[in-house]
Amino acid sequence: MKILMAKNYEEMSKIAASAVVESIRKNPAAVLGLPTGHTPEGMYRLLVRAYEREEVDFSEVTTFNLDEYIGLPPEHPASYHFFMAKHFFNHVNCDATKNHIPNSLASDIDGECIMYDRKLESAGGIDLLVLGLGGNGHIGFNEPDARLQTKTHRVRLSSATRKANSIHFPERDTVPMESITLGMEAIMSARKILLLVSGTQKRSILKQTLAGYISTDLPASLLQLHKDVLLIADEEALGKSTAS
Ligand code: GLP
């Protein structure tokens, strides 16, 4: 894993946005894997700006989001459909037919998961996957567990994750119990991964992620086995002495 230490959140976002723009310039029909959460908001803002300045064209890009809460309609302000529209899709020239987010309102969730993997497979897999880091080490919604699932699947959210994510919900008790997430196979077969981490609250879990051990109790630790991961973390998350 290559580690890039950014001074702060803004710089982390800038480096991440530049990496995304560069990869689209190299391959205008790139397949992107996209995250939600507070961490990538700055990156999306800068990607929108790059589009407005005509520095990047998203028209041929295909996107696959990592996850979505089961049962939240797209118009719910905490849904990831809503997030993506608000922060990105509504402001750039992405082709909506090429933007994929799990349909967590599907009557057959297991069937939806199978379809999602099929769509990703026929798109050729992910060229560039951007990831955030959950406070408990989850990636996408692959939660710490004795076993991690390879395929897209429905997952029961841990109470730590529901608590952490409750800030995005009008009332704490409305955080869904389950979500759909890409599995570890799609994540680990992405050709390149950017892992974005910001803030002192992520410092301890990031340190454990990089500690040189892998464990399904810390899903992000598996990223240490991937051949092309660039960790872009700010000073607050990394602590000054950790960067190479
Ligand atoms: C959610 C998402 C993850 C994201 C994580 C961290 O649980 N499913 O994909 O990485 O939150 O969120 P934040 O960036 O807000 O800390």
- Ligand 1: residues within 6 Å at CB? 35-39, 66-67, 132-134, 140-141, 161, 165
pLDDT number for residue 244: 44
Q: How far is the CA of 141 from the centre of ligand 1 (A)?
A: 8
Task: Specify the ligand 1 atom closest to the Cα of 131.
Answer: 10
Question: CB atoms < 10 A from the CB of 49, how many?
Answer: 13
- What b/e string do you get for 129-163 counting C-beta neighbours within 10 Å, with b at 16 or more? bbbbbbebbbbbbbbbeeebbeebbbbebbeebbe
In single-letter form, the type of residue at position 63 comes to T
Mutation probe of ligand 1 site: the residue of 9, 13, 36 with most atoms within 8 A of C-beta: 36
Q: Burial-class residue 173 by CB neighbours within 10 Å (0-12, 13-18, 19+).
A: exposed
- Label residue 150 by pLDDT band (50, 70, 90): very high
153-156 and 178-181: which strand pairing?
A: antiparallel
Q: How far is the CA of 114 from the centre of ligand 1 (A)?
A: 23
Task: Specify the ligand 1 atom closest to the Cα of 165.
Answer: 7
Rounded to 5 degrees, φ, ψ at 13 are -65, -40
The model scores a pTM over 0.85? yes
Q: Could you report the per-residue pLDDT of 31-83, keeping only the tens digit for each?
A: 999 999 999 999 999 999 999 999 999 999 999 999 999 999 999 999 999 99
Distance of CA 173 to the CA centre of its chain: 24
pLDDT number for residue 174: 82
* Residue with CA nearest ligand 1 atom 1: 37
Q: Active-site residue numbers?
A: 67, 136, 138, 143
Q: Could you report the per-residue pLDDT of 172-220, keeping only the tens digit for each?
A: 558 999 999 999 999 999 999 999 999 999 999 999 999 999 999 999 9
Q: How far is the CA of 176 from the centre of ligand 1 (A)?
A: 15
Average pLDDT for residues 133-152, to the nearest whole number? 98
pLDDT number for residue 243: 46
- Label residue 170 by pLDDT band (50, 70, 90): confident
The radius of gyration computed from the CA coordinates of the chain, to the nearest angstrom, equals 17
C-beta contacts of 70-76 below 8 A and 24+ residues apart = 70/104, 70/109, 70/154, 70/176, 70/177, 70/178, 70/179, 70/180, 71/104, 71/105, 71/176, 71/178, 72/104, 72/176, 73/105
Task: Specify the ligand 1 atom closest to the Cα of 140.
Answer: 9
